[in-house]
Amino acid sequence: MIVFADVTKRFGKKAVLDSISINIKKGDLLFITGPSGAGKTTLLKLIYCSERPDAGHITVADWEVSRLSQRGIPELRRNIGIIFQDFKLLPNRTVFDNVALALSIHGMNPGKIRHYVNEVLEEVKLMDKANLFPQFLSGGEQQRVVIARAMVSKPLVLLADEPTGDLDVDNAKAIMELFSKINGKGTTVLVATHDETLFQGSGYRVIYLNDHYIEKEYMG
């Protein structure tokens, strides 16, 4: 589903990722971990074409991401759900509208949108906050809105960048259960985190990034 073949990414002279190769199969759930600045976010950005590699090849499903033209990017992104480290919620839209946006861009009609958004807000337990603006939500609640927005279109791939950064242990556990559930339905899930408790003893594959290469790979 996602293949990195000898991918190198530099910022200026400094290589953040140096000749990285990863093979993620359809339906996998996988963790990317490593210290701050190791390149976890950069790795995810390469998948959704927010950054382009300096060398190597990246493929996601049928897309040759490393060769994708500007015009091809929107369609790729519509098939990837992204939980951004910095949320990227729109402050002038309600929780409902923020989540609905991910379906509007698919050209879905308002009736269907309402159905799917309500369903996903139920799942992240935010039904009662649907009509609030993001700034009136706690950090953890905002985090769950972002998760809802990423899930609602039932994407092929779900990318989560520090999805539990603002959550307490119980909420973090709930989110992980949500991810397992989505993964169980066939979505490939990639979680970038430095929170070891998320994967310890989970049995999921873990990739440890350090000093611009993959230092180790093991089962959590």
Query: Which residue from 77, 114, 173, 194 is in contact with another protein, where contact means CB under 8 A?
Result: 77
* Partners of residue 49 on adjacent β-strands: none
> Would you count residue 37 as binding ligand ATP (CB under 6 A)?
yes
Q: Take residue 202 and report the two structure tokens written for it.
A: 């989970």
State which H helix or E strand residue 143 sits in: helix 139-151
Q: Smaller CB distance to ligand ATP: residue 142 or 153?
A: 142
State which H helix or E strand residue 128 sits in: none
Measure the CA–CA gap between 40 and 154, rounded to whole angstroms: 23
Q: Which range touches another protein (CB under 8 A), out of 23-31, 84-92, 125-133, 199-207?
A: 84-92
Measure the CA–CA gap between 20 and 210, rounded to whole angstroms: 12
Site for ligand ATP in 176-205 (CB under 6 A): 194
> Would you count residue 213 as binding ligand ATP (CB under 6 A)?
no
Side-chain-side CA neighbours of 25 within 13 Å: the count stands at 4
Pairing label, strands 205-210, 188-192: unpaired
Query: Which residue from 36, 92, 131, 200 is in contact with ligand ATP, where contact means CB under 6 A?
Result: 36
Site for another protein in 107-146 (CB under 8 A): 107-110, 112, 116
The closest of 122, 4, 186 to 114, measured between CA atoms, is 122
Per partner kind, with CB cut-offs from 5 to 8 A, the member of another protein, Mg ion, ligand ATP, none near residue 42 is ligand ATP
Q: Smaller CB distance to ligand ATP: residue 36 or 109?
A: 36
User: How many residues touch another protein (CB under 8 A)?
Assistant: 36
> Would you count residue 79 as binding another protein (CB under 8 A)?
yes
Question: DSSP state, 46?
Answer: H
Q: For the CB of residue 193, give the shortest distance to ligand ATP in the complex, in Å.
A: 8
> Would you count residue 42 as binding ligand ATP (CB under 6 A)?
yes
3-class secondary structure, 121: helix
Residues of this chain that bind Mg ion (CB under 5 A): 40-41, 85
